[in-house]
Structures are given as C-alpha cells and as structure tokens.
Chain A
Amino acid sequence: MFSSVKTIIIVVLLLVLGGSPEAWGAVGCDLNDPDRDVARLFPGSTGYKTVYVSIDRKGGEPLLAKVETRLGDKFHGIYETIDVPYTIYEIFADKKKIGYIHGVNQKGQFGGIQVFVALDLEGTIKAFYIQKMTSQYAGKLRDAKFGRQFIGLTLKDFEQYDIISGKASGKVEAIKNPAPEAEADFRAALRATKKNLVLMDEFVYLPQAASSPGGPPKQ
C-alpha cells in the first residue's frame, strides 16, 4: 500500500516539475512538418511514432562521457547539454517498423543547423536532410546532391572521422564539400551527422542488440 502511494507521489511530482516550461532546460530538434517530411524522407512508410529521449534520462553522466568519447569531441556551448531532448521518429510500413528518423542541433557559423538522417533498422543512412541552416552557401549544402553522398554510410564509416582536425578516411573522406567557402558549416554538418549516429546507436541500436537473443555485438 505504502509503495503504491509513494509511486503516485513520484509520478505527480514528475508531472509537476516536468510540466513547467521553465523546467525544460534545452531545445530539441523536431521535424517542422512530420507528416510531410516523414513521407518524403522515408518513401514507402505509412506512419510514424514519436519517442523522446535524453542522455540525462537514458544514462546520465556516464552515458554523456561515452557519447563524447565515441564522438571524439566534448559537448560544448550552453545549448549542447546533457538534458537536450531528442526526438526519434520510429517509421512504420503498415504495422512493421522499417526505420528511424532522427535530428540534432549543431552550432553553425551563422546560426543553428538542424541535421536529420533517415536510418534503416541496421543503422544505414537512407536519407540526409539539413532542415535549417543560415549561410550564404546554405543552398549548396542543403542541396539533394550533397545529401546523396551520405546515403549508404553507417556509424562505422564515421568512426574514423576526427571532428577536431577534420581528418577523414574511406567513405567519409569521399564526401565532397560543395561550398569550400563554407568549410565551417560543412564540418559542422559532418559533426552533426556523427553525433546523430552515435546517439542513435546508444539510444536505439545497442539496447536493441543487447535485448536480442544473441546479446550485444562485440565492439
């Protein structure tokens, strides 16, 4: 009896504290028009479900440290914090889950950049989309031709990409910057993509693998 009362009190407190706009520490990254964007980024999909996660709730400081290590860079700025809410769109074809769409915010040269990737169930990029970017050269970086270079890439391809030096190898090295004048924004887009894939791995793919009969994959 006492434990159920305690549970009710905790739920009420969570609602009260979580319900205040002031209590939301950081801004997330959502699709502007999910119905339209999901259909466009994931042809063949018939519906989607929205799931909200944050590093804070999923694993706290240890998870943040792990994400930073895998990213090869610290989370910085007052806006890239542990409590940023991430929106994961689970994509369905009828009742069958066929993939995910996930976006992250990234600091660009002249403003915030919002980078979305559509992923299949194995974590391979099926579509790349920069929803927002402020730059004279934004048109070139938001062009479908630039985005197509990311299709087929996985986190494995980005693992060797060094965010600090910008050195890449393999398929990531092959990604061409369509606007050499906007090198900062090009590198910001690559950092956002790597961050996006690392987060999706921690939020979705690793937990899924851990709960599958074969257990987690060896890293």
Chain B
Amino acid sequence: MITKIQVAYKNLLRKRVRSLLTLVGIALSSWVLVSLLGFNNGYKTALSKDIDNMGFQLMIMAKGCPYEAATMMLKGGTGLKYMKESIIGEVAKEPEVEKTTPILMAAAFDPNKGESGGVAVYFGVDPKTFSEMKPFFKFRKGAWFREENAYEAVMGYEAAELEQREVGDMILIPGKNVQFKVVGILERTGTQDDGTIFVPLKTAQKVFGKPDEITTLGIKVKKGVDSARLEERLYQLQDVQVVSMAQVKDTIMKLISTAKVMVLSIALIAILIAMVGVINTILTSVWERFQEIGILKTIGAMPWDIFKLIWIETLILCTTGGVLGVILALILARVTDVVIRSVLPYAPGGGLVLIDLELVLITLAGIMGIGLVSGIYPAWKAGRIRPLEAIRGEASR
C-alpha cells in the first residue's frame, strides 16, 4: 500500500522545476546559516589556539610600545620602547609566575625592498626559555642557536621561503651589515611566528645597540592561580603596561561579534525568504490540486489526512534542502575559510569554519522546525477544502 510519504514525494515530482528551485533556495540559505555558525565555532577555537600558541598568558612591555609586528611595520619600525632587563628578576619573584621569557623586537629599514624600501623585523630571544614557552615549535631542518652570543638565526617557514634561505645560508641585517648564519628553519605554525626571524637575545642587543634592554617579557602563569591578582601587582611596576592574552581574545571576539550579528541577520532574512518560497510553492500546488483534493475527500479522506499529506510535502522539501545545504557547507568549508580570511582584517591560523555534528543537528532541526511552521497554512487551507465546491469549481472551468 502506498504511504502518505510516497504520495507527497510523487506530488512534488509532478512539478519538478518548481520543487527544485524551492529546494535550491532552502539549500542555499541553510548553507549560509551552517557556514556562519561554523565560522562562529571555528573563529573562537582558532583564536584561542593562536593565543595559547603564544606560550604565555601575560606580556609586559614599556608603556606605549606596540606589541604587534604589524603595528611596527605600519609605523616603519619606529615607536618601539624598551625596558631594562632587570625587570625579569622582579617579575620572577612573584609566586604566581611559572616562567618568563625576554624578547627584544628590532626593526631594520631595508632600502632595497621594493621602490620605497621596507622594514625587516627581528626577534631577539633567549633560546632556552623561549623554546620552553613554545613546545609546539618543530624544526623543518636544523635547531636553535648553540650559544647565546652566536651570530645565528632561526627562521619561520614563510620568512625562509620569502628569503629563499636554507640551513647553512647567510642572512644580512640591512643597514647594520652584520651577517647571521641560518641554523634552523621552523615548520609552518599558522601563526605570526611563520614570518619571523629569531636571533639570540644577547646578539640582538649588541647589534641593535640596546644592551640590557628588552621590548617584551612573556610570562607563563602557574596553573590554577589567580592571574588577575598578578596583573594588578604587575601594574605597580613603573612605566610598564600589562597585556593579558585573555583580554586580547575578548577584544577581538567583541569586534568580530558585531560583524557576525550583521551577517547572521542577513542569513536569517535569507531563510525567511526561502520559507516564503516554500509556502508559495505548496500553496500553488494545493490550488492546482483543488479538484483532486475534493475527490480524495469524497472517497473518505478526512481533513487531518489532507493536512498531513501537505505537511509532509513541506517537510520533505525543507529536510532535503537542509541536508543539501549542510553537505554544501561541509564541502565548501575551506573555500568559505579563504573568502572570510580575505575579508577580515585579522584572522587567526587554522580552520576558521568548524562544522561539527551538534551544529549540523541543530541547524537541521531549526530548518525542519521552520519548515513545519511554514507548512501549517497551506496544509490547513487544503484540509478545509469542501469536496462539492472543489468538484463544482473544476466543472465550471
């Protein structure tokens, strides 16, 4: 015996193009919705990973000092401020501090980069403490510097690629005419470190004329301690600013959430339009089958049977469209990732669109729920058709 689902399915097939277009509308809007919700998931995860990969939860630097290499580039390598290295001892005394690592950021202007020159950025780091903070660093080739005073460099993957450097090659600090031997090239990390050239802290201090000075002190806090209290105490130190990675994360998420609300609103409007399309399709189909529904009723179909039949059609359209949208979102996740990345001013490394089972189920349930609601009116209209009127209506045509 033929079931209601089979009847509904066959009815949809009677007007293939119309059903297909409605399906495409639902699929596209659910694709946008899944991708956006996936972006919400992915961005948060990727940002957390990026910040965790910094290895430290707090940074202190001289007041007014930019802490992003990008800021330094924009400012042409100027604007850096320095702290005395003695601050390391003061910070290390704090009971909440597990480890610290000093960094000297330095920029050299290279007149031979492009038409108007460019800035090359170097990170002077202490190989021992810095590598402890970055246990996820893997060397593609080579290793860290052998001595703290060595004229050696470790290059992030992209820096090495741009400069076409291999282990054993030399690099030259523009303007200083000092040569460093490349002793290590890192694997790609997907973070800012990929474009960085690391040199020993002591050597950087000497080459850039900043003895006993640093720009940044990275602080790893012991597990389970109240880092807010530590932050407050660090603020008491003279002429330093404290940057908490949690704060950085919150600020970026707040900026992103504004854009997200706008795009999500557009997605919801798209879904509403798709749903109006569903109502229109089903309602048109009901009017076209006016006489047919009347005959069904004369042979014993109850209003509830007709209601269910039409409702199932809506459900088939919405479920299939929703599933197609999810599949589309999964297949095109990487493309979406690239598009979003090209639009955002800052995007963390790793996948920006993270679609998991929970998200898929929630979206499908949502689409089906909206579909069921959209189907109520056409189904109710169909259920109310009077058999005699329907047959008369046909006769008059």
Interface positions of A (Cβ within 8 A of B): 12, 15-17, 19-22, 26-27, 32-33, 36-37, 77-80, 105-113, 131-136, 138-139, 142
Q: A107-B164, A110-B171 are in contact. Are A136 and B335 (CB under 8 A)?
A: no
- Across the interface, which residues of A come within 8 angstroms of B381, CB to CB? none
CB-based closest 3 A-B pairs: A110-B172, A138-B112, A112-B164
In whole angstroms, what is the CA distance A16 to B351 when docked?
Answer: 13
Residue ID in chain A nearest B140 by CB atoms: A78
Q: Are B334 and A106 in contact (CB under 8 A)?
A: no
Q: Are B164 and A105 in contact (CB under 8 A)?
A: yes
The one of A15, A33, A112, A135 that contacts B162, using a Cβ cutoff of 8 Å:
A112
- Across the interface, which residues of B come within 8 angstroms of A135, CB to CB? 112, 172
Q: Are B332 and A37 in contact (CB under 8 A)?
A: no
Q: Are B162 and A16 in contact (CB under 8 A)?
A: no
- Across the interface, which residues of A come within 8 angstroms of B174, CB to CB? 134
Q: A26-B161, A77-B166, A111-B172 are in contact. Are A131 and B114 (CB under 8 A)?
A: yes
Residue in B111, B112, B179, B188 whose Cβ sees the most chain A Cβ within 10 Å:
B112
Residue ID in chain B nearest A12 by CB atoms: B331
- The proximity string for B residues 99-124 relative to A, scoring 1 for CB distances below 8 Å and 0 otherwise, is 00000000000111111000000000
28 contacts between A and B (CB under 8 A): A12-B332, A15-B332, A15-B335, A16-B331, A16-B335, A19-B335, A19-B338, A20-B337, A21-B341, A22-B188, A32-B114, A33-B115, A37-B115, A77-B164, A77-B166, A79-B161, A107-B164, A107-B169, A108-B164, A112-B165, A131-B114, A132-B113, A134-B112, A134-B174, A135-B112, A138-B111, A138-B112, A142-B112
In whole angstroms, what is the CA distance A134 to B113 when docked?
Answer: 8
In whole angstroms, what is the CA distance A113 to B115 when docked?
Answer: 14
In whole angstroms, what is the CA distance A17 to B337 when docked?
Answer: 12
Q: Are A112 and B115 in contact (CB under 8 A)?
A: no
- The proximity string for B residues 159-202 relative to A, scoring 1 for CB distances below 8 Å and 0 otherwise, is 00111111001111010010100000000100000000000000
In whole angstroms, what is the CA distance A78 to B115 when docked?
Answer: 28
Q: Are A136 and B177 in contact (CB under 8 A)?
A: yes
- Across the interface, which residues of A come within 8 angstroms of B170, CB to CB? 109-110
Q: Are B115 and A19 in contact (CB under 8 A)?
A: no
In whole angstroms, what is the CA distance A22 to B187 when docked?
Answer: 12
Q: Are B112 and A19 in contact (CB under 8 A)?
A: no
Q: Are A20 and B338 in contact (CB under 8 A)?
A: yes
Q: How many whole Å from B247's CB to the nearest CB in chain A?
A: 28
In whole angstroms, what is the CA distance A33 to B338 when docked?
Answer: 22
